[in-house]
A and B are shown apart, each in its own frame.
Chain A
Amino acid sequence: MATTTLPVKEEKRFHEEEALITGAEAIAVACKLANVDVVTAYPIRPYDTVMQYMSQLIADGEMDCEFIVAESENSQFEIVKQASACGARTFCGSSGIGWMYAMEVLTVAPALRVPLVALVGNRALDDPGAFGVEHNDALAVRDLGWLLNWVDTAQEALDTALIAYRVAEDPRILVPLAISCDGAFLTHSQALVKVPSAEQVKEFLPRYNRGDLLLHPDNVISVAPQCNEDWVMEIRRQNYEVTERACDVIREAYADSERIFGRKYGNPFFEEYMTEDADVVLFGMGTLSTPVEVAIRKLRAQGKKVGFVRLRWFRPFAGPEIAKALERFRAIGVIDRDLSLGSPDLSGVVATELRSAMYSNAATRPPVIGFICGLGGREVTVPDVEKMTDTIFQAAQGKAQPLTQWIGLRG
């Protein structure tokens, strides 16, 4: 494989390699670089590429860790929960209904303050059994104290996985974190990725240290005894504080990532594309940026000033910052690759969340139109994006639009 030196950094202190790998494989490489101690696996597509690649790295002698094939997703997450409490850096992941089968463990992990890092290869929930991307799997834990982000490219997957360990294991945080990669579109697409050196990672990522929370014979503690109304609210408040602190910790991690690895991600929470002079914007998560950006270039050639804001971190949802960035546009179209059935306006999760974030400032509240699109792995096409853009331009001109619209549906 071709090798190259850092393109961005002036001083070439480190030696980077380049690899043709998928988004899921990029996460496996990050785990190798992070020197993960315990990995648990249970097969389900599309997440499982990560476990296949990691077993190959172990077999080739490039990676050394406990690789445990569990008998179910529930055990898979239970094992890393215990290992993390004992001070091991862990990795695991799942997709769709497999992630849901681990739900009991996913629920308890945040309160126990175990900094699990997981990959969710986003997949439609059964039934019907389908392999394509839908975001409702990872979003199922959105209210439980997990940190959640969505990445767009294999390079971003690798860089974000390193950031994930740094953020989750920060003593101010210590909660589980899931990185979402769109099934197939990212988990199974191989792109050229710059792989940082072990020295760079060492500089970026400190050792995992649980301090007094370490479950060890030399540090006698009892974790999660039964308690009731006398304690629960205070425990919840601790997790609440974590999510409040998380934005600052994430900002610090991105700044260090940029300094050490030389790749600029700008605002950690969202990425803006052609927004400077935009009248309206589209808003969404994951790989839909590809058709959206191509469509935007086409629409701009026709004089339509439209931009795109791609949300990276859904939890924490950087509400005030996002609202401030979006209030200047005349209308916003949110593309949801998920459902929130029965929600206000029957919109998707992201549209509902964004409306809530923008509600408090009544003076600057552009219309937010929700689009349900690309479910179950259906492609979000350039014509789909053009159609959605037309709708938000109508809304910007004060013509009332249905608040939720299905795009790309047969019928």
Chain B
Amino acid sequence: MSTRTDASVGAPPPPGMPVEPEAAAATPGNWFTGWVQRVGRKVLSAVQHAGHFGILLVATLAALPQIRRYWPAALGHAKRIGVDGVALVIVVGGLSGSLLAQQTGYQLSNALPMSLVGSGVVAGMLTELGPVLTAIVIAGRTGAGIGAELGTMKVTDQIDALVTLGRDPVVELVAPRVVGGIIALIPLVVIANFVGILAGWFTAVSLLPMTTAEYVQGARGYYHAAALIFSLVKAPIFGFTITFVACYVGLRAEGGAAGVGRTATAAVVAIIVAIMVLDVILAPVYNAVA
């Protein structure tokens, strides 16, 4: 004798089992109601996220001028982000400069002057690859770390403890990390740019039919101060974005150790999407200014 358990209620019938007429009749209505509920829940959740994100953003911006309260902590975070990330940034910056030189060289061969390889590498590194790849590297390295760290603090009641001890988590935890990120990203992007351009030169003179003079001529032909300034403006914007988004995701963690793991992953994904969206928004700004 088989009995129907509570767990089977609402589940589709097993293969081969006939569907009862009343269940079949109820299906379209149930499906539509379920769909509306799911969409409604997602919309509500998105609105809630937007609200919480906005509140934390305003609180963080309001905390930035109180920098004297958390300056040592901010410097500590800047040092950690910088020191932890510099080796990876050098590797990724060098590889991207080298690839840029090779691809530009292959496209130009027999068509345009090879000196344009220098232009392509400098333009690519300064305006896009230097800042964006540095941001993505730091997102993977530091963003995940911040998300997991704050997530752990959240699920172990350390954030609540901070609140009950009369401290402001935004001033104590978010602002120092955000300021640290802003400070650290500037030298990291400069390093990525420099190493990328240097690797581009090395690749060009080693693998392509061109000389150092041609590379330098192309690089100087493209270079203008606006490109460098744009690169250095992107750095603090990305530094803010990486740390702020990581803090936001971390502070909303729930569900114990598994939740912290999910938070670290979610932080990296959210940061990379935010960086790419910001980059797309900033590109026309640069074109208009330059």
Partners in one complex: no
